[in-house]
Amino acid sequence: MDRAARGARVRLAWLGCALVLVSFAGCRRAKAGGGAEPDARLRFTRDGAFVELTERQLEAAAPPETIAAYDPYYRRVKRFRALPLGAVLARGFPGVTLAGEEMVLRARDGYTVPIAGKKLLEPGAYLAVADLDVPDWEPIGPQRSDPGPFYLIWSGAHQQDLESHPRPWQLAVVEVARFDALFPHAVPSGAAPDSPAARGFTIFRAECIRCHAVNREGGRIGPELNVPQSIVEYRPEPQIKAYIRNPLQFRYGAMPAHPQLSDGDLDDLIAYFRFMKSIKNDPDSVP
């Protein structure tokens, strides 16, 4: 299921929240200022343990500010009621030095962002809890999703690149976890460090795993790329490369273009897919 379809399902879940218990966050009801009720919860996970904190609890530790900054999704300046992310993380992970940690951000729709802890501690990182421009959250992205109750934003003019400074909306989980421990079966074990497959894995980790999984590990809003069949087993390699570079020439959807990837980068990415097709792990397979 692509991100648009998942966004639609999430939207329906929100509409029915008065009757259905929604994971990670209680029912959202509009309040003045365009945010969520204070019972919306954000989960913080580390070493198998977790704590869920409400918006009210987070605001007690990270007093909200009004942030007006350009938003690359909306393509204009937006105003949000937002909490400094460093203070939010200090409340969720008390006593933990996050600057040297690897972390993962998980959205409700399956969007999964591996990210360095030091990146999240940059000045300018905020957790938006309310849209101040409209009575409730303004829909975001091509699938017109509700970004609440928690939306990661960046206020700096140098923080507008969505690749270097991702903006997951409907943020549900912040996790401290090493990449190779969290996604061990996506790693090309046995590939030489400077081989095309290893270089391709570096690209996959940076550009693709937010939306796509390999061996059922990674994002869940785009297609799985290795099981039951690898994408290179059923799609021509030239077509795969062309699609990655500019998916809109094939079909309308939420996948972004990747014009920054060189021909060599795409060759390496294909080499990673070729390498992984012989290293399959599918815990969801039916015997």
What's 40-79 look like in SS3?
CEEEEEECCEEEEEEHHHHHHHCCCEEEEEEECCCCEEEE
Where in the sequence is the domain holding 173, given as residue range(s)?
3-178
Which of 118, 150, 178 is the last residue before a domain boundary?
A: 178
Residue 87 has pLDDT above 70, yes or no: yes
Residues 234 and 163 in one domain: no
In which band, very low, low, confident or very high, does the pLDDT at 286 lie, cut at 50, 70 and 90?
low
Looking at the domain assignment, is residue 286 inside a domain?
Answer: no
Residues 197 and 247 in one domain: yes
What's the confidence (pLDDT) of residue 13? 36
**CATH code of the domain covering residue 206:** 2.60.40.420
Residues 164 and 229 in one domain: no
Looking at the domain assignment, is residue 281 inside a domain?
Answer: no
From CA 31, how far away is CA 89, in angstroms rounded?
25
Looking at the domain assignment, is residue 287 inside a domain?
Answer: no
In which band, very low, low, confident or very high, does the pLDDT at 11 lie, cut at 50, 70 and 90?
very low
Beta bridge partners of 106: 112, 173
Looking at the domain assignment, is residue 285 inside a domain?
Answer: no
Which of 120, 150, 178 is the last residue before a domain boundary?
A: 178
Looking at the domain assignment, is residue 204 inside a domain?
Answer: yes
In which band, very low, low, confident or very high, does the pLDDT at 287 lie, cut at 50, 70 and 90?
low
Residues 173 and 209 in one domain: no
What's the confidence (pLDDT) of residue 1? 43
Residues 113 and 250 in one domain: no
Looking at the domain assignment, is residue 283 inside a domain?
Answer: no
Residues 73 and 143 in one domain: yes
Q: What is the dihedral of CA 43, 180, 187, 23, to 10 degrees?
A: -10
Which of 178, 202, 217 is the last residue before a domain boundary?
A: 178
Tokens of 98: 């996050």
Residues 38 and 171 in one domain: yes
Residues 234 and 139 in one domain: no
Residues 201 and 158 in one domain: no
Residues 54 and 140 in one domain: yes
Residues 96 and 199 in one domain: no
Helix, strand, coil % (nearest 5) of the chain?
A: 30, 20, 50
Residue 201 has pLDDT above 70, yes or no: yes
Residues 189 and 145 in one domain: no
Looking at the domain assignment, is residue 18 inside a domain?
Answer: yes
Q: Number of structural domains, the chain? A: 2
Assign 140 to helix, strand or coil.
strand
pLDDT tens for each residue of 14-64:
333 332 223 333 333 344 344 445 578 999 999 989 999 999 999 999 999
Looking at the domain assignment, is residue 258 inside a domain?
Answer: yes
